[in-house]
Every structure is written in C-alpha cells, then in structure tokens.
Structure 1
Amino acid sequence: MGTSKRKLSNEIKKLLKDKPLSNLNDTAPELTKKILSKKILNENFDQEDIIDNSIKIITNQFLSLSSSGFKGKTKKELINDPITQQEFLEMILDLIENSIVIESKILEKALKIVMCKFLEVDEFDVYSFAQILFYEIVFQILLGELNDNIKDIFEEIEYDLIQNMVRNATNQVMNVAVYEKVNLFIERKISLNEVLDEIAKQTSNASFGEF
C-alpha cells in the first residue's frame, strides 16, 4: 500500500511539474482519472456489504432519533449538546463495527462527517445521505492525494485554494449521472461496482475551476 501510494504521488508530481500555474486546470481530468482509478475507489469505498450495512444502521438510528430521541433528549436538544451528540455518533459507529469491520479510514472519516451534517437536517432521507456520503469519500480521496502534491510543486498556493480546487473537481465528477447510480444502489438495483465505474468514467469532466 505504501509503495503504491508513493508511486501515485510521483505520477501526480510528474504531471504537475514544468506546468505553469495558469495551465493547472488542463491537468485536472488526467490527475483525477489517476487518483480515482477503480483500484483506488475499491480500496477506499471498502466492500459493498460494509457500505450497505453502514447506511442501513445509520438510517435506522437517525429515524429513531427523530421519533424517540436519544438518552432522554430530543433531536433538537441533542444538536445543542455536544457531549450527547458525540455519544450518539459513537454509538452508531460501535453498532456498525460490531457487525462488520470498516477497513477504509476514508470511509470511516466520511461517515462521521456526513452523520454530523445530517444532525442538522430536519428529515433524514437515505438517498440524500448516500449521495453526500459518496461525494465525501471522493472528495477525501482527491484531497488526500492533491493537497501536499500540489503544494510541493506550487509553493505559493495556499491550502485553502487547493481545497477549493479539489471541491470543484469533486463537484464535476459527482454529477447527476453518478447520483442516479447511487440511488439505484440504494434500491439494490445495481452493485457498488457499477457506481464506482460511473465515478471513474466521470473523471473526464473534472475541473479545478477559476483560481
């Protein structure tokens, strides 16, 4: 894993090297295609049953929170109580890990980020949750590979700008075509593999935007 990560890092730097900053956007599709290869997507999304099981458990717990609260607190009270909120999220992660082991650190991180976001949402919707979860995983994969590699080549770029560039690229990749596949995955009409195929295909649309 370490060797392949170093190899990818070297390939990214090779693509960036000797390119003027003004032409950085031209490299976005090729960079994104390298980083979001099927192999890397498979590693970071983990197994289909892990994603499926995680979403199922989270859905049940969030619906339960809306109807019955948690530890005597309503959902609204929980949002204003950081300690109970943390207990709620940890309880869900424990439930997931008691039934199946999450191997991917990025998946685990994305689950936490998206669950926090959904505490602020009035009504939990499994389709929206899955779409934002898949988006967050792709964003974290791209950010993990581009953050330091871009900074190493273009020292003058601030990390905030790199994050915006990665966000723009993620927005282009995670488009309607991908979200339609995510919905079909939730409905058990297609496999996770088919969603990842679509994500890999949409890398050709990647753009870092204006900077």
Structure 2
Amino acid sequence: MGTSKRKLSSEIKKMLKNKSLTNLNETAPEISKKILSEKILNEKFDKSDIIDNSIRIIHRQFLSLQSSGFKGKSKEDLLLDSITQQEFLEMILDLIENDTTINSKILEKSLKIVMCKFFEIDEFEIYEFAQVLFYEIVYQILLGELNDNIKDIYDELNYELIQKMVKNMTDRIMNNNVYDKVNEFIDRKISLRKVLNEISIQTTNASFGEF
C-alpha cells in the first residue's frame, strides 16, 4: 500500500513539474484520471453492499431521529449538543459495523462528515444524502493525493487555496451524469461499479478552476 502511494505521488509530481500556474488546468484531467483509477475508486468506496447498507441504515436512523428524537432530544437539540450528536453518530456506525466491516478509512470519514452536514437539513432525503456522500468520498480521495503534492511543487500556494482547487475539480467531475447514476444505484438498478466508471469518465471535465 505504501509503495503504491509513493509511486502515485511521484507520478503526480512529474505531471505537475515545469507547469506554470497559468497552465495548471491543462493537467487536471490527466491527474484526476490517474488518482481516480478503477483500482483506487474500488478500494476507497469499499464494497457495493457495504456502502448500500451504510446509506440505508443512516437513512432509517435519521428518519427515526426526525420523528422520535434520540435520548429524549430532538434533531435540533443535537445541533447544539455535540456530545449527544457524537453518541448518535457512533450508534449508527456501530449498527453498520454489526452487519459488516468498513475497510475504507475514507468511506468512514466521509460518512461522519456527511452525517454531520445532514443535522442542518430539515428533511433527510436518501438520494441527496447518497449524492453528497459520493461527492465527499471523491473530494477526500483527490485532496489526499493533491494537498501535499501541489504544495511541494508550488510553494506560493497555501493549503486553503489548494483545498479550493480540489473542490473546483470535484465540482466538475461530480456532475449530473454521475448523480443520475448514484440515484440508480440507490434504486438498485445498477451496480456500484457503473457509478465508479461514470466518475472515471467525468475526469475529462476536471479543472482546478480560477485561483
């Protein structure tokens, strides 16, 4: 695993080397294609049944929170009570782990991030949750590979700006074509592999945007 990561990091730096900041967007599709390879996407998204089961458990628990609360507290209360909010999230992760083991650290991290976001959304909608989750996983994969590699080549860029660049890239890749596939995955009409294939196809649209 460590050797693969070092190899990928070296390949990314070669793509970036000798590219001026004004021409950096030219490399975006090639770089994102390299990072979001079939192998990496399959590894980071984990197995189809794991991500499907996780989303459905979260959906049920958020609907229960909305109607019945948690430990005598409403969803709105949990927004102001970080301790009980954390207990609620850990309870959900325990339910998921009771059924299966999450092997991807990025998937687990993204589940937590997106669940926290959905405390602030009035109505929990499973398609919207799935779309935001898939977006977050792709963002975390790209950020993990680009954050330090871009900084190493371009000293003048700070991490905040690099995160903005990665967000711009994710925005371009995670478009309506991908979200349509995510919805079909939630409806169990297509496999996870077909969603990941679409993500890989959409890397042709990748851009770091204006920075």
- Normalising by structure 2, we get a TM-score of 0.99
Please state how far the C-alpha of 1:208 moved relative to its aligned partner: 0.4
State the match for 1:2 in structure 2. Answer: 2
Q: Which residue of 2 aligns with 1:200?
A: 200
Number of residue pairs the alignment of both structures matches: 211
Question: What is the aligned partner in structure 2 of residue 130 from structure 1?
Answer: 130
- 1:23 is aligned to 23
* Counterpart-to-counterpart distance in 2, 1:20 and 1:187: 45
Query: What is the CA RMSD across the aligned residues, in angstroms?
Result: 0.5
Match of 2:85 in 1: 85
Q: Which residue of structure 2 aligns with residue 43 of structure 1?
A: 43
Find the aligned partners of 2:9 and 2:71 in 1 and give their Cα distance. 46
Q: 1:143 matched to which residue of 2?
A: 143
Within 2, Cα distance between the matches of 1:179 and 1:77? 31
1:163-178 equivalent positions in 2, closer than 5 A: 163-178=163-178
Distance in structure 2 (CA, Å) of the matches to 1:83 and 1:29:
42
Q: How far 1:76 sits from its partner (Å)? A: 1.3
Deviation of 1:79 after TM superposition, in Å, equals 1.4
Matches of 1:209 and 1:19, distance apart in 2: 15
For residues 20-43 of structure 1, what are the alpha-carbon distances to aligned partners after superposition, in whole Å with 9 as ceiling and x for unaligned?
121111110000000001110000
Q: TM-score, normalised on structure 1?
A: 0.99
Q: Which amino acid aligns with 2:186?
A: I
Q: 4+ residue stretches of structure 1 with deviation over 2 A?
A: none
Tell me the percent identity. 73
Cα offsets for 1:128-164 (capped at 9, x unmatched): 0000000000000000000000000111111111000
Q: Displacement, 1:180?
A: 0.1
Within 5 Å, give how 1:65-76 maps onto structure 2. 65-76=65-76
CA distance in structure 2 between the partners assigned to 1:158 and 1:75 by the alignment: 37
| Alignment gaps of 5+ in structure 2 | none
Q: Deviations over 1:111-134 (max 9, x none)?
A: 000000001110000000000000
**Cα displacement string for residues 21-78 of structure 1 (whole angstroms, at most 9, x for unaligned residues):** 2111111000000000111000000000100110011001000000000001111112
